[in-house]
Amino acid sequence: MRVKQTLILAPTLVSLFLLQSYFWVPTFEDQVKGDPGRLIRYIETSIGDASILNPTLAADSASAAINGLVFDGLIDRDLDLSFRGRLAESWDIFEEAYLVVDETQRLPDGSAVTADRLVRHLERARAAGNPALRLVEKIEIVPGGSRVEQIEVAAPGGTPSKPHKRKVQVTVHQPPRLKFTQREVDQDFFIKLNRLLGGYADRIDPTRFVEAVEPVVTPEKAAALVPPTEHNPVVLFQLRKGVLFHDGHEFDSRDVQFTYEVITVPENLSPRVPDFEPVKAVKPLGRYTVKIIYKRLFEPGFQSWGMGILPEHLLNRQRLSEEAIRLGRDPNNFSVRDSGFNRAPIGTGPFRFSEWKTDQYIRLTRFEDYWEGAPNLHQYLFRIIPDPLTAELTFYAGTSDAYGAQPHQVERLKDDPRFQSFSRLGLGYSYIGYNMRRPIFQDVRVRRALGMAINIQEIIDYVLYGQAERTTGPYPKQTDFYNPAVKSFPYDPEGALRLLAEAGWTRNADGWLEKDGQPLAFTLITNAGNEIRKAVMVVAQNAWRRLGIKVETLSMEWAVFINERVDKGDFDALILGWAMGLDADLYQIFHSSQTGHFQLNFVGYKNPRSDALMVRIRQEYNHERQVAMARDLHRLIAQDQPYTFLFVRKSVMLLDRKVVRMVRDGDDTPRYLPIVPDKLGGITFHFNQWLKTAQPVLTAN
């Protein structure tokens, strides 16, 4: 409201500001005349500055934009979103599975179990074509041994939320194990193997192998120390030879191992820890091969290797100690997070760091020795312009090369001949979530009725100017995991009333719905400062009140909304959104084990069938099987409606018409090609081929 008053009371001041902003920006033609290098300089704007230029430590989008140009990962995705090699030329995914040899048991033929007999029994079954061993390439015996470990146990005192702990020393007598090398990961391997061996694995008692002075070792702790069975998925990366860091040092397997170690060191406070916690070990096998061993089945872990790789020779302990001493710091308390590297990074990416003026700009220059060939652009400039209006005007004048159009601008700008426009459907979605701990939301008919009462298409048309699409479930629409067979609930207020009547809610004399003398009443909350969510809240409240539901609304500051309401489950219903990834794992958001305070299933959704699917999905390495299960999960969640799934927003990126791709034919003749979006609508896949021409040129398809 204050902004509107300013526009009304002081139009001259506003006009003057607009004129000053416009004439402060030189035209593109003036730029080229004064600096021909403008044609090989790409300028991007951002409302905020980067925070830290280190891919293992950064968690904001501005930093990610720079890190993605300075650093390469082992893999990334192609135009169709399939994985492709970058610093890794190729990879193989297989499994090393382990089975404890328990000599107190007998084989199905009645003979006592020994490691040799167990191997011979299984080899005969494999030779006979038993399906349980279909993927097994080799069976080996791993000798046992004893080791001493410390385990944590409960101590007197403390509270349920903060129990006291103490450490106890135990001796682990590790029995021999059989190691099965399988050409694929099979999450059902031990189920089938156990069936072949007559329930052998179920009878293994891990407590027999753990010795302690006092009886503190529970079966669960013993099984963690001596797992009867163990899945160890393996990714074997073959690295690209001859790749150079920007300082000329060659990249190799030690850099991959070091990058993983940086993430796992607690004092570095890496936000990447959850992605890499399932990793058991990273082992260089020579200079150009690295073996990643996982301690459990976790298929989403593979995509984490798209993160940029750090240079070990610049950040190892010796180099950090030397830097700490130069700065007068204690080397023992100086971590990668403290290093000046994070303000002047060195990677293997297509652009090398040049300059960073805080809250003004970051300048990168092309890396002439980039392994894939130097980019066409010689310079990349990341300008920080917090004011959206100024950012818009700089784009119109040609002082920046791209602009994210606002929903209300799309119709006006998408056909402007000066620009190329690219529409992109977001990966995230907006929703209304219902706290299923509240009795009124425990009946699925109520949740479905609430969704049917809202005209979501009207929100898309009039609040979002048509720049959104309906969505029916928890997966991004562009992925294979989204189930297109699941239909949206219709806008049907009368049908909603019938569902509520079936659930026992009827109108009282005052027109409000009630059941057993209690009104159907709740509060809908969201965060302040988000105009779209505010509009959705008003539309939903009006729609529900027309049905006879008493709905109050409340907006609150973001930190209070998240910390006091969402994280603690203290709400009835809320409006929020998820920014999703490209994998099929929904465990943290919808699994029943994730419903506690500060966990992400804050609506308290619980369904045993969904739980089972989520566990199997994150353990499935076969894409086709994973897709089938994910689509079943989509259907189940859509039926249960813990959320009213609202919409996925679109974004439109405008690019100067003079920006094109340029490649050279065999005779070095330049050929100009159009910018090609990937499956998500992103336009930077061929960024290293981009160039800016003095005038728009015809491009060949």
CB atoms within 10 A of CB 693: 14
Sorting pLDDT into bands at 50, 70 and 90, what band is 141? very high
- Structural domain 75-87+240-321, CATH architecture: Alpha-Beta Complex (3.90)
Give the strands of the sheet with 518-519, arranged side by side: 506-507, 513-515, 518-519
Contact present, 92 and 75 (Cβ < 8 Å) = no
Q: Which long-range contacts (CB under 8 A, 24 or more apart) does 539-542 make?
A: 539/454, 539/455, 539/458, 539/459, 539/463, 540/432, 540/454, 540/575
Q: Residue 669 CB: number of other CB atoms within 10 A? A: 8
Q: Which CATH superfamily is domain 429-651 in?
A: Dipeptide-binding Protein; Domain 3 (3.10.105.10)
Question: What pLDDT, on a 0 to 100 scale, did the predictor assign at position 23?
Answer: 39
379 C-beta neighbours (distance < 10 Å), count: 17
What stretch(es) of the chain map to CATH 3.90.76.10?
75-87+240-321
- Does pLDDT of 216 surpass 80? no
The average confidence (pLDDT) of the chain is: 92
Quick one: pLDDT at residue 22?
Answer: 38
Check residue 399 and give its pLDDT.
92
Task: Check if the beta carbon of residue 70 is closer than 8 Å to that of residue 347.
Answer: yes
Per-residue burial over 488-520, b if 16 or more Cβ lie within 10 Å, else e, is ebebebeebbebbeebebeeeeeebbbbeeebb
Percent of the chain whose predicted confidence (pLDDT) is above 90? 83
The angle that helices 493-502 and 531-547 make with each other, rounded to 10 degrees, is 60
CA distance 592 to 358: 44
> Which 8-state DSSP code applies to residue 31?
H
- Reduced to 3 states (helix: H, G, I; strand: E, B; else coil), residue 125 is helix
Residue 531 has pLDDT above 70, yes or no: yes
Rounded to an integer, the average pLDDT of 620-638 is 97
Q: Would you state the structure tokens that stand for residue 323, as one six-digit string?
A: 């830097």
Q: What is the distance between the alpha carbons of residues 395 and 401, in angstroms, rounded to a whole number?
A: 6
Cα of first residue to Cα of last residue in the chain, in angstroms, is 49
Q: Where in the chain is the domain with CATH 3.10.105.10?
A: 429-651
Taking Cα atoms as reference points, which of 414, 395, 525, 401 lies closest to residue 465?
Answer: 414
Instruction: Map tokens 């779209």 to a residue.
Output: 532
Q: In whole angstroms, what is the distance from residue 123 CA to residue 129 CA?
A: 10
Token pair belonging to 653: 């990126």
Q: How far apart are CA 497 and CA 514, in angstroms?
A: 12
The predicted pLDDT at position 10 comes to 34
pLDDT band with cut points at 50, 70 and 90 for residue 168: confident
In this prediction, residue 334 carries a pLDDT of: 96
Percent of the chain predicted with pLDDT > 70: 94
Of the candidates 636, 641, 634, the residue with the CA atom closest to the CA atom of residue 475: 634
Q: Is 166 left (phi over 0), alpha (psi -120 to 50) or beta?
A: beta
Q: In which band, very low, low, confident or very high, does the pLDDT at 684 lie, cut at 50, 70 and 90?
A: very high
Residue 375 near residue 351, CB atoms below 8 Å:
yes
Note the pLDDT of residue 218: 86
Task: Answer whether residue 35 shows pLDDT above 90.
Answer: no
Residues in CB range of 523: below 8 A, 6 or more apart? 551, 552, 553, 554, 571, 572, 573
The helix (run of H) or strand (run of E) holding residue 220 is helix 219-225
- The rounded distance, in Å, linking the Cα atoms of 2 and 248 is 55
32-36, 42-46, 317-321, 322-326: which has the minimum mean pLDDT?
32-36
Amino acid residing at 86 = R
- Mean pLDDT value of segment 599-605: 95
pLDDT tens for residues 62-102? Answer: 999 999 999 999 999 999 999 999 999 999 999 999 999 99
pLDDT at position 437:
96
